[in-house]
């Protein structure tokens, strides 16, 4: 399960330690946004890796996790006047 202990930078900028936790499954849903100029864009975040911090907990006593995420952006629709000519 755990891959090893790593040094992490916490939200307050201090250093701490954490345990790498393997991502077993990830289901991302698209958020679709319509912009004022008529463009429709879909965005989702893909979790690449996770670290469970040691000795750091939220208000409910749950351990905190640091996530390495990558954004995925897809243009669904763009008004013709904003397209590059000749494409």
Dump pLDDT digits (tens) for 3-55: 588 998 888 888 989 999 999 988 889 999 999 999 999 999 999 999 999 98
| Mean pLDDT calculated for residue range 51-71 | 93
Q: 81: helix, coil or strand?
A: helix
Give residues with Cβ within 8 angstroms of 24, minimum separation 6.
none
pTM of the model: 0.71
For the chain, the structural domain boundaries read: 2-81
Enter the DSSP assignment of 70: E
Q: Is the pLDDT of residue 63 over 90?
A: yes
């Amino acid at each position: 399960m755990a891959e090893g202990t790593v040094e992490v930078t916490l939200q307050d900028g201090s250093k701490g330690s954490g345990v790498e936790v393997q991502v077993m499954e990830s289901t991302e849903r698209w958020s679709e946004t319509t912009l004022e100029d008529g463009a429709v864009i879909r965005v989702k975040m893909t979790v690449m890796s996770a670290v469970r911090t040691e000795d750091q907990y939220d208000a409910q006593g749950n351990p905190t996790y640091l996530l390495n995420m990558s954004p995925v952006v897809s243009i669904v629709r763009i008004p013709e006047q904003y397209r590059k000519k000749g494409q």
